[in-house]
């Protein structure tokens, strides 16, 4: 039998070296530092660059009124933005929103823009606080729909991007550098009012009186619950009240102008606004025609001519005439209830008055024509009337008296609604004269 060789004791000077070797082996088995970090990384895209101001002032280092300030944020992968994301800037002591403008060709960089206003002033340069990107009811996500991580670092005041929105104001001397102010605590973002759509339509009848309502209210919603104010621009024919109700303010005539386009703007107490374009159609209504005679005091032995006009127009060649004569003994008191008799052969716009037949009689000129509104439904309509009495040759004309004037009855203005069949419509419009 062989005897096992005895173990030898290692020399003492080798013990430190062995300890270092053991420590190195243990370190080789530790997980990488970025492994734990990778476990906490959000699934969505992250901002890797920005915010950065990529625009330049048109002159020097100062933006003037109306110039656009453009800021970009770059993500680690392509993203899609919807709605109205926005980025809050610090221009002097004023917070301003730069709205989402566009996406780069590679899809990874979003651009935001703010147009300098008259009261924007910043002699130190534009700055952006930490984490000032807000969705504002919009979205920013990757191709898989994962929402983006909106966190980003602050951008200190940029001396090359000062702001002076006041017009014709001399450039201020550059101030002494000041320490970067401590960022203020983040305030909840104000949500601007929003209309449900970009456009709307309303309608109102022509000749509507001032104060008449124009369709339903035009209102916006505010998720903050702020009280909104409304303003209407684009036409003096309409106005709007505090509840979004559009009302008639001027004269409306379909034949003059059949449509108006106005802009309604809603604003919250912080000055955030939204606008909607409203098209208002003026509805054509059937307006009554008018018959006129060539003489207010016709004499027997003379000619009398009638004309007819209609604000809606008269179809060319459609006018027909019939002259009528009252029975003998008709007075001003009963002329409106008397049945007139057709005058044989008197079917033109003019009639020759005779002493034997017409002296002392009441005459009526009846115009029958077609207008663009189409067929009537046969309703009886009382014609507008004005009275004169026929004089014998050489006699003095009967003076006009208010008691002999008959106002136009309300029924004479009643008309069918637009859109009826376009068959000829026969409307008795008459002018009664006594000579």
| Residue with token string 């243990």 | 26
Find the farthest-apart pair of alpha carbons in the chain and give their distance in angstroms, rounded.
176
How many Cβ atoms from other residues are within 10 Å of residue 124's Cβ? 21
How many Cβ atoms from other residues are within 10 Å of residue 7's Cβ? 6
In CATH terms, the fold of domain 199-283 is: Immunoglobulin-like (2.60.40)
Q: What is the pLDDT of residue 13?
A: 66
| Residue with token string 């044989």 | 344
| Tens of pLDDT, residues 226-264 | 999 999 999 999 999 999 999 999 999 998 999 999 999
Instruction: Assess contact for 183 and 130: CB atoms under 8 A.
Output: yes
Q: What is the pLDDT of residue 166?
A: 86
Instruction: Assess contact for 329 and 361: CB atoms under 8 A.
Output: no
In angstroms, rounded to a whole number, what is the distance separating the alpha carbons of residues 60 and 123? 13
pTM comes to 0.39
| Tens of pLDDT, residues 154-205 | 999 999 999 998 876 566 778 888 888 888 777 788 999 999 999 999 999 9
Average pLDDT over residues 380-396: 38
In CATH terms, the fold of domain 286-435 is: Immunoglobulin-like (2.60.40)
CB under 8 Å to 179, separation ≥6 — which residues? none
Q: What is the mean pLDDT of the chain?
A: 79
Q: What is the pLDDT of residue 359?
A: 78
In angstroms, rounded to a whole number, what is the distance separating the alpha carbons of residues 326 and 162? 90
Residue ranges, comma separated, of all CATH 2.60.40.2700 domains in the chain are 286-435
Average pLDDT over residues 406-435: 30
Q: What is the pLDDT of residue 310?
A: 86
Average pLDDT over residues 137-147: 92
Residue ranges, comma separated, of all CATH 2.60.40.60 domains in the chain are 199-283
Q: 292 is written with which tokens?
A: 């006129």
The CATH architecture of the domain made up of 47-164 is Sandwich (2.60)
Q: 245 is written with which tokens?
A: 């109700």
């Amino acid at each position: 039998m062989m005897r096992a060789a005895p173990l030898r004791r290692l020399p003492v000077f080798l013990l430190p070296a062995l300890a270092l070797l053991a420590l190195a082996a243990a370190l080789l088995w530790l997980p990488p530092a970025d492994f734990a970090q990778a476990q906490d990384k959000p699934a969505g895209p992250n901002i890797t660059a920005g915010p950065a101001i990529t625009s330049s002032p048109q002159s020097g280092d100062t933006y003037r009124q109306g110039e656009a300030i453009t800021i970009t944020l770059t993500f680690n992968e392509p993203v899609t933005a919807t709605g109205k994301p926005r980025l809050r800037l610090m221009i002097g002591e004023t917070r301003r929103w730069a709205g989402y403008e566009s996406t780069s060709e590679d899809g990874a960089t979003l651009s935001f823009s703010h147009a300098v206003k008259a009261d924007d002033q910043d002699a130190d340069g534009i700055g952006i606080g930490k984490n000032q990107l807000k969705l504002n009811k919009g979205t920013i996500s990757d191709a898989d729909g994962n929402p983006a991580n909106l966190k980003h670092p602050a951008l200190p005041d940029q001396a090359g991007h000062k702001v002076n929105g006041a017009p014709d104001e001399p450039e201020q001397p550059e101030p002494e550098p000041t320490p970067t102010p401590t960022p203020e605590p983040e305030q909840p973002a104000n949500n601007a009012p929003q209309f449900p759509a970009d456009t709307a339509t309303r309608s109102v009848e022509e000749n509507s009186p001032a104060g008449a309502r124009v369709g339903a209210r035009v209102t916006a919603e505010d998720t903050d619950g702020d009280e909104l104010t409304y303003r209407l621009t684009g036409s003096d024919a309409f106005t709007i009240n505090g509840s979004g109700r559009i009302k008639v303010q001027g004269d409306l005539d379909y034949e003059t102008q059949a449509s108006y386009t106005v802009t309604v703007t809603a604003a919250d107490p912080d000055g955030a606004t939204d606008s909607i374009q409203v098209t208002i159609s003026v509805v054509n209504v059937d307006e009554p025609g008018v018959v006129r005679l060539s003489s207010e005091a016709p004499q027997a032995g003379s000619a009398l001519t009638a004309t007819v006009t209609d604000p809606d127009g008269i179809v060319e060649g459609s006018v027909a005439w019939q002259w009528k004569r009252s029975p003998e003994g008709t007075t001003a008191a009963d002329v409106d209830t008397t049945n007139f008799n057709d005058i044989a052969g008197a079917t033109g716009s003019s009639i020759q008055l005779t002493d034997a037949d017409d002296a002392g009689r009441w005459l009526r000129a009846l115009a029958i024509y077609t207008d663009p509104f189409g067929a009537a439904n046969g309703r009886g309509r009382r014609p507008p009337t004005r009275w004169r009495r026929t004089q014998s040759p050489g006699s003095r004309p009967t003076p006009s008296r208010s008691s002999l004037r008959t106002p136009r009855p309300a029924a004479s203005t009643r008309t069918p609604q637009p859109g009826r069949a376009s068959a000829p419509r026969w409307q008795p419009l008459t002018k009664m004269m006594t000579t």
